[in-house]
Structure 1
Amino acid sequence: MTEDMPHILVVDDDTRLRELLRKYLAGNGFLVATAQDAADARAKLGGLAFDLIVLDIMMPGESGLELTESLRRDDDNIPILLLTARGEPDDRIAGLEAGADDYLAKPFQPRELLLRINSILRRQAAKPPDPVPAQPVRLGPLLYLPDRDELRNGEEVIRLTTAEASLLRVLAGQPGVTFTREELTERSKVAGNARTIDVQVTRLRRKIEPDPREPRYLHTVRGEGYVLRPDG
């Protein structure tokens, strides 16, 4: 084992599947730890650093979906691959909206799981540093200070999650430029995919827009993506 081997946390209440995944991933170049439920996973996450979580949704107690939402609220952007026996589109959307990076329905081939894990890790490694806007950006009464990574309303600092701050930094770095969802996923620290970008845009609008339902600054360009048009 070497220190640069990716560290995976497998969380599933099915003992047999959990052990099978541990052995399979360990045999394919990963350091693997396991957890039997969300509480066990939290204990592991509190003491060790992981590169990715393979997380079952349907668990007793706190579900995998609830754990995902909680981690994202806490600004934890560790990549998450959800596993579930439910593969309906609405279930997949719910997982992505919660902040998951990918979603794999049971039953699945171990090889497919391996391919998806490697794909997520490659995307994370390829993300460039966030661009930093050269000048403060005015959004009505709000001022975004890129050198401090702060959004202020007078003396009040408006708290941004890591994902919201990263998204604003990318958009404010090139005001007036339309970014596709894929570009925002690649350039920001938003964990997930195009659907996750939509969710983070909605959350960011709640903090920068006078009326999030009628955006003044962060606009949707139909069929293309999003653009920030600040004052001035």
Structure 2
Amino acid sequence: MPTVLLIEDEAALGMIVRDSLEVRGFSVRYATNGEDGLRLFREERPDIVVADVMMPEMDGFSLVEHIRKDDADTPVIFLTARSQTADVVRGFELGGNDYVKKPFSLDELIVRINALLRRNVAIRPAPVSSEQLSIGRYRFDPPKQKLLIDQREVLLSYREAELLRRLYEQRNQVLERASVLIEIWGDDSFFNGRSLDVFITRLRRHLRDDPQIQIINVRGIGYKLIV
């Protein structure tokens, strides 16, 4: 039974959504503000998060920013009445996976939840090798999702590790953006593309202790890991 963490400060709407999800076989944890939502996320580790953007204590964007500091893979759907493109883009840049504008159909929300849950399972292939890879001064262990340099160890998220593995396999060559999006994110939509850009930025930050390593953009095509 998939667990949904629902965070919505409008009590009437929250109860309706919670009841509808439970009728359809979901286990629901419910919070009415961002701080309680973050606490429940850390305690429950749900399969998916559905969060309003405008909430007391902590807004939805700040909530997801905290979540993404140690969990890059749990799908997040934002619920909001805000419809400006800048808000939508910001939500995806912070790590959101989908954006449902109020008022919305409960059936549509449930379809989107199921689609993200299926995608999150489908993108996880079996580990390819137990061998550590050398990337400049770093050692990279793909199955354990670890990046090591000197005595320091960085634990990568699943997507970070998969993206770095593909960059390594194509090192000093272009890794096509579209193929990465389809293989790791499930499709090459605009919003997934923004998410990929965020993950590239994270990898650059993880690898910054070796100035001989670069991940460069190849405009209109993809990325290149230069070692």
TM interval, short-chain normalised: 0.7 to 0.9
Report the counterpart of residue 116 of structure 2 in structure 1. Answer: 120
Report the counterpart of residue 223 of structure 1 in structure 2. Answer: 220
Q: 1:24 to 1:120 in 2, by over 3 A?
A: same
More displaced 10-residue stretch of structure 1: 47-56 or 216-225: 216-225
Q: Separation in 2 of the partners of 1:130 and 1:208?
A: 25
Report the counterpart of residue 154 of structure 2 in structure 1. Answer: 159
Tell me the amino acid that sits aligned with residue 222 of structure 2. Answer: G
Using structure 1 for the length normalisation, give the TM-score: 0.81
Report the counterpart of residue 92 of structure 2 in structure 1. Answer: 96
How many residue pairs get aligned? The number is 220
Report the counterpart of residue 202 of structure 1 in structure 2. Answer: 201
Q: 1:67 to 1:152 in 2, by over 3 A?
A: same
Using structure 2 for the length normalisation, give the TM-score: 0.82
Report the counterpart of residue 125 of structure 2 in structure 1. Answer: 129
Q: Does the 8 Å contact 1:132/1:173 carry over to 2? A: no
Q: Does the 8 Å contact 2:145/2:156 carry over to 1? A: no
In structure 1, list runs of 5 or more residues that go unmatched: none
Quote the sequence identity (%): 37
Q: Does the 8 Å contact 2:174/2:224 carry over to 1? A: yes
Q: Say whether residues 1:169 and 2:168 are aligned partners.
A: no
Tell me the amino acid that sits aligned with residue 63 of structure 1. Answer: D
Q: Deviations over 1:125-179 (max 9, x none)?
A: 211326546562333x4443547644344x2325254243342123224433513
Q: 1:184 to 1:169 in 2, by over 3 A?
A: farther
Q: 1:31 to 1:177 in 2, by over 3 A?
A: same
Q: Separation in 2 of the partners of 1:84 and 1:78?
A: 19
Compute the displacement of 1:83 (Å).
0.7
Q: Separation in 2 of the partners of 1:62 and 1:196?
A: 22
